[in-house]
Structure formats: C-alpha cells, structure tokens
Chain A
Amino acid sequence: MAFLELKNVSKGFGPKTSRSEILSDINLQIEKGEFVTIVGYSGAGKTTLISLIAGLIGPDAGTITLNDLEITAPGPDRGIVFQNYSLLPWLTVYENIYLAVDQVFKNWAPAKKALHTEKYIEMVNLTPAREKRPSELSGGMRQRVSVARALSMDPQILLLDEPLSALDALTRATLQDEINRIWENDQKTVVLITNDVDEGILLSDRIIPLSAGPDATLGPSIPVNIPRPRDRKSINHDPRFKEIRATVVDYLLKSNARSRSAVTRTLSLPDIEPEDLSVPRNWYSPRKQPIRKREIKKETVEISS
C-alpha cells in the first residue's frame, strides 16, 4: 500500500443540469519520501486536485487515503502552501508561523514552541524580517513564510500548490533551490503542482502530467532519473532532461489537441437585428426599432486557447 493513494477519484462542480467534470478517474500512488510533481495547463484542475488531497473539498467518487487512513477533512498532517500565500495580514511573520506551531504542538512548553518557530524562520532565511507583517514583504518572502509555516507543522506530506507561479524568474530560481535544499535535509513526501515542466524536472523524482480539462486525468508517471544534486545550469544540457521534457510536453500538447477537437459549444448568434439607419426618422413614422431574433444555433467548433 502506498503512502498516499488516490483511487478512481473524480470531482465536478456545478448543478446537475450544467455540471462540468473537472477531474475524472484520477489514480495516484506516492511513496514515503518521494518528491512528485504534477504538471498541467492552468485551469486543468490542478488546484482542485490538491484541495482534494488537503481535504478542503471531498471527492464525488473514489477514495483518497494517507497512511491507510481516508482523508475526509483538512488537517495539519498535510502542510499546504497555497499559490497566493494565504498569510494572515494582521500577524507578523513570527506570529503567522507561531499560530501554526501553537495549534499543532499544543502541549509543548511556550519556550519550546518559540524555539521551534525561530528554527523554521531561520530555515527560510527570514530572521531579519520576523517582526514584519506580510504587506511589508516581497512576494518571494511571503511565499517563504508560507513554506515555513507548512513545514513547522511537521506534516507527513507537503502539498505545494503552484507555490512559485506568482514570482519573477530570478526569485523563482532562488526559491526552487531553497525548496530543493529543504527537501534534501528532511526528506519529506512532497507533492508539487506546477505549470512549469523545467521546475518539475529540476526538483522531483517523478513527473506526472495532468491532461487538459475538462475531464482531466493523470497521464503516465515519468521518472526523473537524473542524479542529485542537480545543477540548474548544466541540467539543461543533459540528454535525459531533454527527453523527459519532450515526453511531458508531448503528452500535454496531445491531450490538449484531443480535448480541443471534442469541445461542443452552444453558440448564440447576435440576438439583435439592427436598426435600419437609411430610413429617416420622423415624428409621425418612427423608424423600426432593433428586433431580438431569439435564434440559437448549435454547432461544434474548435476552440483554440
């Protein structure tokens, strides 16, 4: 039995009549200590997938188990780093992390909690900013606080939901290295969700593409057999890197093409027949007003993204 296991999970949103299936038939096994990346298009349902694992939403069908226990509600055993940081703006860096520590390690002495908090602030190199509020920090610093908060709960699994998407390329690279360093230090199980294939190859043991939505599902698991530590500069020239990248991108493009040709849309033509401006308007014979046609045509079209 795998550490984290998703079995035939599917999830959709909306009322029955106009229901859109986001994820269907998701199967995933992750072993303890693995770093797995899931890549996919934006809007494919990546965040839905991580919310399912976090327990913030429940699946429509299928089961999700962590350590053989079914996930039904969110909990601190799954540390989650949200794309938009989700720090509480009225608390300082220290207080944000302390809130988590205080909650998870309830019966520790206050001094131990404080020490633990300091340790994680230091781990993400934010000690000089410990008394600052999130609004005074840059995007990269905020995301580091968010990572520190998730790690400080000592979770069994770390869920990273596009943690670096909102950052500029340079900060992104720094934080990638930082995540790499932290992971190598304590070998936590990590699920990283991203739309950046290179990021996935640089950091993870396995890459799993998520096909384009709707009805997104996971593609084949592609192992990243490049030895660690990986160097960001030389990895680009590694033939294995190129091969993995090609496989993942190929799968994603194909899935997108497939979903593209299958889309059916109800198109409503412009509903209004315009006024005829060539007819002059007089006080005794008003010009014909625009008319609604109430005509709807159904046809299949290709939608390019």
Chain B
Amino acid sequence: MNKTTFKLDWLILPLLGMMFVALAWSFTSSTLTKGLPSPSKTWSQSKLYIEKPFEKRGEMDQGILRFTWYSLVLVAKGYSIALLIGTPIGFLLGLSKMFTKAIDPLIQILRPVSPLAWLPLGLVLFQKPEPSALFTIAVCAMWPTVLNTAVGVRAIPQDFLNVAKVLKLSRTKTLFKVLIPATLPYMFTGFRLSLGIAWLVIVAAEMLTGAPGVGGFLWQEYNSLIYEHIILCILTIGIVGFALDRLMSLVEMRFKTI
C-alpha cells in the first residue's frame, strides 16, 4: 500500500462520508423537517459550550466537557462496581457446573432487561438519584464481563491445569498464577463490551434522574426547546463512546499478545 491510498483510506473517505451526511442534514432541515436545526445553526448555538468547555454558569448551564466529566465520573463508579461484581461471578460460572446450572437461567432472564426498567427499581431501593443510577449502570453493564469471564475460564487448556496439578499449587496460587492470566484476554473483551454498555446506560439514567451530565443536559434542553443542544449532546456522547472503546481496545490488545 502506498502513501496516497493510505491517506485516502483513513482520512479522506471518512471525511467524505461525514460531509455527505452533513449535506443531507442541512438539506432536510431546510426542506422536510423544519424543526430540525441546520448544521450552521447548531454550531452557532453550541459555540459557547464548546469554546468554554469547562465554564460553570449554573447547575444546568455548563461547558460541554464539564458535563462530560460528570458523566464519566458516574460511569467510572458504576463500571467499577460492575467489574467488581461481574468478574468473580464469571469465575464461579466458569469453574463450577453446579453454579452454572443454578444461576445461568437467571442471568439469561436479567440480561435483556432495559436500563429504563432497572432505574425505577433503583430509585425504590435507594431513594436517591445517584446510587440508583450507579445501581442501574452496574446491573446493566455487568453481563458481558460475567459471560466472557466464564467462557474464558472454561477455555483454559487442560495442559495449564495439569501443570498446576503436578506442581500441587494451592488454590489461591492456581487462581493467581494460572486461572487469571489464562483468562485475561477473554476478561478484557468482556470489560470492553461492558464499558460500551455502561456509557449507553449513563445517558438514560441521567435523563431520568435529572443529574447534571451530558444526558441530563440533553433532556433539559429538550424541555426548554433548544434543539441545537440536543445535537451537540448526541455528537458528544458518540465521540466520547468511540474514544472509550478505542482506549479499551488498546488495553485489550496489550493483553492479547500473551
């Protein structure tokens, strides 16, 4: 591959795609759907939030990166809870057939439940918006970690377990020297999928609880009829989600090499 095609593939083609969508967007906004703000109007209305990304003017009137930061902090908390609970459950599922038989149907039932359904339950349980948002993120984001860890543990080659047996490694040593390292690549695939879900859930959770953050801002601006900011929020959510996924895939690659 020579240099020009490389640039064409990685820079020019994606830019062309984006330009096409922007054109289609400005066309429909001026003809078919009058309510939809045009790209230029979106920019002029959102400029303040992008140019002063960290400014705080009021509870629900802050720079976009400041909002993003609030959301990220909440995601980080909920995601950590998901990993802390999900990974051990995954290990138990992978190690014990009895546990799998007992718990697997339950997991299959709980897994497809939407975050919008969990949040009210969280509010009932915790009475406050933040813990219930964390509860929702953790419950929704946990499953990919649980399932991937379980698959990873089941996929450990018998050879490695034989080594542990011949050396008479203790249970904890087998866990830390053999089981966990052998499962890491699978675990990180699960972590990556979980992070994607956690970021999806945060927006829904913020919309319902009204906490400051990208999702909360989006919902508030819808209620106050400033539709330009909805688009700003959608783009921010998308870009941040993409960045998080890239970041996790870098971490994942690092562990794939073993």
Q: Which of A64-72, A97-105, A208-216 contacts B (4 or more CB under 8 A)?
A: A97-105
Contacts of B167 in A (CB 8 A): 76, 99-100, 103-104, 153
Q: Which of A118-172 contact B (CB under 8 A)?
A: 133, 135, 153
B177 A99 Cβ-Cβ under 8 A? yes
B166 is contacted by which of A74, A84, A90, A135 (Cβ under 8 Å)?
A74
Q: Decide yes or no: A103 and B168 within 8 Å by CB, A88-B181, A90-B181, A133-B258 being known contacts.
A: yes
B258 A86 Cβ-Cβ under 8 A? no
| Cα–Cα, bound, A73→B168 (Å) | 9
A82 B181 Cβ-Cβ under 8 A? no
Number of A-B contacts (CB under 8 A): 46
CB distance from B167 to the nearest CB of A (A): 5
| Cα–Cα, bound, A80→B166 (Å) | 8
Q: Would you call A262 an interface residue if the criterion is a C-beta within 8 Å of the partner chain's C-beta atoms?
A: no
Interface string of B217-234 (1 = CB under 8 A from A): 000000000000000000
A103 B160 Cβ-Cβ under 8 A? no
Interface string of B67-78 (1 = CB under 8 A from A): 000000000000
Q: Which of B164-185 contact A (CB under 8 A)?
A: 165-169, 173, 177-178, 181-182, 184
A75 B168 Cβ-Cβ under 8 A? yes
A90 B258 Cβ-Cβ under 8 A? yes
Contacts of A56 in B (CB 8 A): 162, 165-166
A86 B163 Cβ-Cβ under 8 A? yes
A78 B181 Cβ-Cβ under 8 A? no
CB distance from A120 to the nearest CB of B (A): 15
Contacts of A6 in B (CB 8 A): none
B162 A82 Cβ-Cβ under 8 A? yes
Q: Decide yes or no: A88 and B178 within 8 Å by CB, A82-B159, A133-B258 being known contacts.
A: yes
Q: Would you call A89 an interface residue if the criterion is a C-beta within 8 Å of the partner chain's C-beta atoms?
A: yes
A54 B166 Cβ-Cβ under 8 A? yes
| Cα–Cα, bound, A61→B85 (Å) | 45
Contacts of B165 in A (CB 8 A): 56, 73-74
Contacts of B258 in A (CB 8 A): 89-90, 133, 135
A86 B162 Cβ-Cβ under 8 A? yes
A76 B168 Cβ-Cβ under 8 A? yes
B166 A88 Cβ-Cβ under 8 A? no
Contacts of B160 in A (CB 8 A): 86, 88
Q: Which of B134-186 contact A (CB under 8 A)?
A: 159-160, 162-163, 165-169, 173, 177-178, 181-182, 184
Contacts of B168 in A (CB 8 A): 74-76, 103
Chain A CB within 10 A, most for which of B160, B166, B178 = B166
Chain A, residue nearest B170 (CB):
A103
Contacts of B173 in A (CB 8 A): 103
A86 B169 Cβ-Cβ under 8 A? no
Contacts of B166 in A (CB 8 A): 54, 56, 74-76, 78-80
Contacts of B177 in A (CB 8 A): 88, 99
A88 B169 Cβ-Cβ under 8 A? no
| Cα–Cα, bound, A84→B162 (Å) | 12
CB distance from A169 to the nearest CB of B (A): 25
Chain A CB within 10 A, most for which of B162, B163, B177 = B163
CB distance from A239 to the nearest CB of B (A): 41
| Cα–Cα, bound, A178→B173 (Å) | 32
Chain A, residue nearest B173 (CB):
A103
B163 A88 Cβ-Cβ under 8 A? yes
Chain B, residue nearest A146 (CB):
B163
Contacts of A88 in B (CB 8 A): 160, 163, 177-178, 181-182
Chain B, residue nearest A103 (CB):
B167
B159 is contacted by which of A73, A74, A84 (Cβ under 8 Å)?
A84
| Cα–Cα, bound, A86→B167 (Å) | 12
| Cα–Cα, bound, A86→B182 (Å) | 13
7 interchain pairs (CB within 8 A)?
A: A56-B165, A84-B159, A88-B160, A88-B177, A99-B167, A103-B173, A153-B167
Chain A residues in contact with chain B, CB under 8 A?
A: 54, 56, 73-76, 78-80, 82, 84, 86, 88-90, 99-100, 103-104, 133, 135, 153
Chain B residues in contact with chain A, CB under 8 A?
A: 159-160, 162-163, 165-169, 173, 177-178, 181-182, 184, 258
Taking A78-B166, A82-B159, A84-B159 as given, write out 19 further A-B residue pairs in contact, using a Cβ cutoff of 8 Å, ordered by the A residue number. Answer: A56-B165, A56-B166, A73-B165, A74-B162, A74-B165, A74-B168, A75-B166, A76-B166, A79-B166, A86-B163, A88-B181, A88-B182, A90-B182, A90-B184, A90-B258, A103-B168, A103-B173, A104-B167, A135-B258
